[in-house]
Amino acid sequence: MKIYNTLTKRKEEFVPIEEGKVRMYVCGPTVYNLIHIGNARPMIVFDTVRRYMEYKGFDVNYVMNFTDVDDKIIKAAIAEGVDSSVISERYIAECKKDMAALNVKEATKHPKATEEICGMLDMIATLIEKGHAYVAADGTVYFRTRSFKEYGKLSHKNLDDLQGGNRSLLVSGEDQKEDSLDFVLWKPKKEGEPFWESAYCDGRPGWHIECSVMSKKYLGDEIDIHAGGEDLVFPHHENEIAQSEAANGKQFARYWMHNAFLNIDNKKMSKSLGNFFTVRDISEKYDLQVLRFFMLSAHYRSPLNFSADLMEAAKNGLERIVTSATNLKYLLDQAQNVDETDEEKEAFTKVAEYVKKFEEAMEDDFNTADAISAIFELVKYVNTNASAANSKQYLNDLYTEFKTLADIMGIIIEKEEELLDADIEKLIQDRQDARKAKDFAKADAIRNELLEKGIILEDTREGVKWKRA
Ligand code: AMP
Ligand code: ZN
């Protein structure tokens, strides 16, 4: 399996740190609003990478954080006159709903920055101790960028070029830096902002330290894959590398994967241009399966243009796949239990060829566009051959392969039976029992299971209420 590594600018054979395991960290959204369709691209792309790795038999530990303390969240909280946690919790819940509708699997862990402050202060203390960070007079802690000799290795930037281009970054309050390249690890609180006590000042963390710490805590000092949108290469991921490698003394991530941007009608998406869409906006017109399919129709490192025409094409393509699978399932359910004929056995080698094509595409840096072409070849084969088949065995094998490939893409070809109200009530009761027994992991697992099926729980004073998303 080959992965394009931003660090080396080459496609490299994927070799995990630990055999059979993948430790993967994806930078998640800042939760101050509904996620937009650009944010959905890394979610869908890296969920598909994860699904393929799982198909290959890897045990994938997949972490995606939520940045729940940030200027934009604080601004939104002030505007509404509420605590910033009200804003972040609201939009984490909304983001999880969108992810479920996009068929993005829950991460193994979705850490939140505000719950990891202790770890951040620990790493900051280590960096100060090792001479990689310093405390300014006002209590701000800065990373001493030049102390990390490999700074710039991910974005392939040269420190001296950066120095020249970076002077304008000396904004007010940052004039206490030793060097304009230094960046914030911890900053003093401002009036009305959430803050935590520390040895340096009452304050809050800088953005970059969050990911270094959450990755270390949930995946260890060395991880296999770190991923996000290409805008994160510099400075966010460069700074993460500097912090983590300076603090831990080990290579942080072996493979760095970055998706290219999603544009709208060939322009950058922006509120001021009036071409800004949330995932929720799109859900009013399309099943979000269509958005997912559209995103995977291009290679993740190619810029992708969103337009009404391309969405219509994606809708039609997806319909062709689902219709073919539904017909195949019908034939399978009707089939008599006749043994496979020799011709059918022979014909199945053709199917193996499509599967091979699919795998080759995915193994070449996750070329989902070519993988989808292989699925279409399978669709064509099914549409021409399945109705003439006799044996249940043959149709079953065919359907199983079809479903496996669709699952890797996150395409749902068979809608799960809707949960009945009674089943939901039963699961809610199980969750309450688990909570009483202080088995919070189980309680959370039940909540997530319900969420994946589109059931949202709300804990109120009158008890647990639920609704369908
Ligand atoms: P943010 O909340 O801005 O930190 O973004 C969360 C994730 O979405 C990051 O991985 C970004 O790189 C990614 N992202 C933001 N805008 C776009 C876009 N237009 N196209 C693709 N990815 C994006
Ligand atoms: Zn990050």
Pairing of strands 262-264, 304-306: parallel
Query: Counting atoms of ligand 1 from 1, which one is nearest the CA of 260?
Result: 21
What is the C-alpha to C-alpha distance for residues 311 and 286, in angstroms, rounded to an integer?
9
pLDDT at 168 over 50: no
Q: Measuring from atom 8 of ligand 1, which residue has the nearest CA? A: 39
Given a cut of 70, whether residue 167 has pLDDT beyond it is no
Alpha carbon of 424 to those of 101, 142, 206, 442, 463: distances in Å? 19, 50, 41, 16, 15
Q: Which ligand is closest in space to the CA of residue 264?
A: 1
C-alpha distances (whole Å) from 65 to each of 24, 74, 133, 234 are: 12, 18, 24, 18
Q: What is the pLDDT of residue 127?
A: 98
Neighbours of ion ligand 2 (CB under 5 A): 27, 211
Asked if residues 231 and 261 have their Cβ atoms less than 8 Å apart, the reply is yes
How do 223-229 and 21-26 pair as beta strands?
parallel
Ligand located closest to 64 CA? 2
CA-nearest residue for atom 5, ligand 1, is: 29
User: What is the secondary structure of 205-235 as a DSSP string?
Assistant: E-HHHHHHHHHHHHH-SSEEEEEEEGGGIII
Which CATH architecture does the domain made up of 313-409 adopt?
Answer: Up-down Bundle (1.20)
Q: What pLDDT is recorded for position 147?
A: 97
Return the best residue to mutate from 41, 43, 49, 94 for the ligand 1 pocket (most ligand atoms within 8 A of CB). 41
* CB of 260 shorter than 6 A to ligand 1: no
The pLDDT value recorded for residue 429 is: 92
Q: What residue owns the CA closest to ligand 1's atom 6?
A: 29
> What's the pTM value of the predicted model, to 2 decimals?
0.89
CA distances from 21 to 15, 18, 59, 63, 244 (A): 10, 6, 5, 14, 21
Amino acid at 440: F
What average pLDDT score do residues 346-350 get?
88
Whether 231 lines ligand 1, by a CB cut-off of 6 Å, is yes
Tell me if 376 CB under 6 Å of ligand 1: no
147/185 Cα distance (integer angstroms): 15
Is 145:179 a contact under the CB 8 Å cutoff?
yes
Whether 15 has a pLDDT exceeding 90, the answer reads: yes
Report H helices in 335-456: 342-363, 368-385, 392-409, 421-436, 440-452
Residue 165 has pLDDT above 60, yes or no: no
CATH of region 16-268: 3.40.50.620
- Per DSSP, 104 falls in state P
Q: What is the pLDDT of residue 217?
A: 98
**64-98: pLDDT as tens digits:** 999 999 999 999 999 999 999 999 999 999 999 99
Sole residue written with tokens 């039609």: 316
Say if ligand 1 is within 6 A of residue 66 CB: no
The predicted model gives 392-400 an average pLDDT of 95
Domain boundaries, the chain: 16-268, 313-409, 421-468
β-pair type (141-143, 133-135): antiparallel
Ligand 1 contact, 188 CB (< 6 A): no
